Amino acid sequence: MHTPREVWAARPDARLILVLSSERSGSTLLRVMLGGHSRIVAPQELFLLRYPDFDTWRARKSVAMESLLELFDLLGHEQTEEGITSSCRGMPMVDVYKWIFEFLPAAAVLLDKTPAYANDVGTLDRSRGLTPFYVWLVRHPLGVIDSHVRVKERERQRRPLPGRMLRPLRDAIERLTDGLPALARKREAKWVLQNSNVRDFLRQVPAEQQAKVHFEQLVQNPEAVVRELCAAIGFEPEPQMVRPETRQTMNPNLGDPNFHLHGAIDVQPAASWTARYSETQLRPETLALMQELGIQSRRASGARHHAA
Ligand code: A3P
């Protein structure tokens, strides 16, 4: 239990919440839910921490300027691309965050959810000086793999026919030789890498500065998850957090391209992968990490979940 003195939000330097996850873990949903809080400002993916300074971010991730402009829009501050660039040119990234914090109302915090932060520990290390609250969002690896493969398949449908025709055959051969199509296997490896990076990094972070959220629990019992998360951060939960605006269209480079297809918080994605995959297809290291992270195995609880 946290005492009021210990909670992160009581710190004078509490200005940033970082949501860390693998892509396709429900991070856009969690961002929109937390952004429903009157003290949390939550634009699309900022990607800032991926880069050591503003100039590199500007050159290498120009699409993310849209998220920064959205942030100022949410804050009700008029800002232009040129204005931001002239203010931040030459700044190390930590100073860019400090510059942004100056625009936040006194009690407000910035929420930055960018799954790519989990790709390497160097990116995570860059956040230390900002004393953020870290929300680690985890999802069953097969939920992530299934979602990723469906997004890629939809992209393939838009490609010319000749390249597309051989794909089902290649998938079947890969499934026979390696238990999973190569695309899914690659995504499994990324899930392991990203979640291992976050685990290793958060081991060095004080307990009162972090919380773990399971995607499956978030969609099955949003009220309880939001209540617990807000208590860990040090905020009072607000009712609109569990009634997110789900019809928003996201820039596919900055969030979930299918987000608007859900009419509300939808429980179905928690287990939809079970129709297409089985945990016996996962590598031993993935199963071991699942267990370490407290992700419920369907092998142990299959009957109960099928009945639900
Ligand atoms: P799929 O729709 O492909 O299953 P991320 O935002 O991290 O990329 O995660 C995307 C996933 O979040 C979606 O992948 C879906 O499973 C889940 N998601 C998005 N909106 C949701 C909603 N309103 N309710 C439940 N799950 C949602």
Long-range contacts made by residues 190-194, C-beta under 8 angstroms, separation at least 24? 190/22, 191/22, 191/141, 191/144, 191/145, 191/286, 192/141, 192/283, 192/285, 192/286, 192/289, 193/119, 194/21, 194/22, 194/115, 194/118, 194/119
What's the whole-number mean pLDDT along residues 212-219?
A: 98
Sequence letter at residue 276: R
How much distance in Å is there from the Cα of 300 to the middle of ligand 1? Answer: 25
What pLDDT is stored for residue 176 in this prediction?
75
How much distance in Å is there from the Cα of 84 to the middle of ligand 1? Answer: 31
244: pLDDT strictly greater than 80: yes
How much distance in Å is there from the Cα of 137 to the middle of ligand 1? Answer: 12
240: pLDDT strictly greater than 80: yes
Q: Is 246 in the pocket of ligand 1 (CB under 6 A)?
A: yes
What pLDDT is stored for residue 161 in this prediction?
66
Tell me the C-alpha distance between 241 and 258, whole Å: 20
What pLDDT is stored for residue 175 in this prediction?
75
Residue whose Cα lies nearest atom 23 of ligand 1: it is: 265
Q: Is 216 in the pocket of ligand 1 (CB under 6 A)?
A: no
Residue, of 108 and 161, whose pLDDT is higher: 108
Pocket test for ligand 1, best of 44, 146, 147 (most atoms within 8 A of CB): 147
What pLDDT is stored for residue 2 in this prediction?
46
304: pLDDT strictly greater than 60: no
Average pLDDT, the chain: 92
Q: Is 26 in the pocket of ligand 1 (CB under 6 A)?
A: yes
How much distance in Å is there from the Cα of 269 to the middle of ligand 1? Answer: 7
* In the block, residue with structure tokens 């949390």: 40
153: pLDDT strictly greater than 70: yes
Tell me the C-alpha distance between 31 and 25, whole Å: 11
Q: Is 22 in the pocket of ligand 1 (CB under 6 A)?
A: no
How much distance in Å is there from the Cα of 25 to the middle of ligand 1? Answer: 7
Q: Is 140 in the pocket of ligand 1 (CB under 6 A)?
A: no
Tokens of 208: 């009162």
What's the whole-number mean pLDDT along residues 179-198?
A: 95
What pLDDT is stored for residue 308 in this prediction?
34
DSSP letter for 300, please.
H
Tens of pLDDT along 196-207?
999 999 999 999
Ligand 1 atom at minimum distance from 246 CA: 23
What's the whole-number mean pLDDT along residues 101-107?
A: 96
The pLDDT confidence band at residue 287, using thresholds 50, 70 and 90, is very high
Q: Is 27 in the pocket of ligand 1 (CB under 6 A)?
A: yes
Pocket test for ligand 1, best of 117, 265, 266, 276 (most atoms within 8 A of CB): 266
What pLDDT is stored for residue 3 in this prediction?
47
How much distance in Å is there from the Cα of 244 to the middle of ligand 1? Answer: 13
293: pLDDT strictly greater than 60: yes
Tokens of 24: 């396709």
